[in-house]
Amino acid sequence: MVVFNEGRNTMCLRTLTLSAIAALVLTSLPGSAVGQMEKPLSEQLLGTWTLVSWEQDVVNGPRFQRFGASPKGFHIFDVNGRFYITFLRPDLPKLASGNPLTPTPEEAKAIVSGSITLFGTYTIDEQAKVVTLNIDFSSFPNQLGSPQKRTITSITPTELKYQNTTATAGGQIYYVFKR
């Protein structure tokens, strides 16, 4: 003989319903860490990231900041699988001649060593948390034809940290970005 306890079954149904609603709300909140963990890396990366720091380890040398202590720049990942990067030192020199076609050797060296722009397509290995940049153009042409790998070390809705283990000058580069 089965005994039906209407009050107890109704309470269990309410508890299950409230639990399901709470789980749905937690995973759909825009700034929710739970919601962010559920999203694939490809969705988390989309948008514009502003450069906060850029540091490189050099073989047999100290870590340095190529773009200074307060670098300027951004990294954009778009929905079509394209990326855009521009990094600059904030203290780039003005050209004495006022003409970009006639910098002095010192001005040209400072600008080349204190800036980089590249763009192309990207792919993501979700499991390994690696973004591969396939460069279509770079202001440093030596990068063309060599995919650049970036290992995501941390990502939240407002901060991205990744590491370049394929730096052309050797060592590793550590980046921090904010939204």
- The per-residue pLDDT for range 95-104, each reduced to its tens digit, is 999 999 999 9
Does the structure show a pLDDT above 70 at 1? no
SS3 of 145, please?
coil
Confidence of residue 11 (pLDDT cuts 50, 70, 90): very low
Q: Contact 88/66 with Cβ under 8 angstroms?
A: no
CATH number for 40-178 (one of 2.40.128.280, 2.160.10.10, 3.50.50.60, 2.60.120.560): it is 2.40.128.280
Average pLDDT value for residue range 139-163: 94
Q: Contact 57/94 with Cβ under 8 angstroms?
A: no
Average pLDDT value for residue range 169-177: 87
- What pTM did the predictor assign? 0.75
Exposure string for 6-39, b = 16+ CB within 10 A, e = fewer: eeeeeeeeeeeeeeeeeeeeeeeeeeeeeebeee
Confidence of residue 145 (pLDDT cuts 50, 70, 90): confident
Q: Contact 159/178 with Cβ under 8 angstroms?
A: yes
As a whole number of Å, the CA-based R_g of the chain is 24
Tell me, what's the pLDDT at 37? 55
Q: What percentage of residues in the chain have a pLDDT greater than 70?
A: 78
Tell me, what's the pLDDT at 160? 98
Does the structure show a pLDDT above 70 at 32? no
Does the structure show a pLDDT above 90 at 118? yes
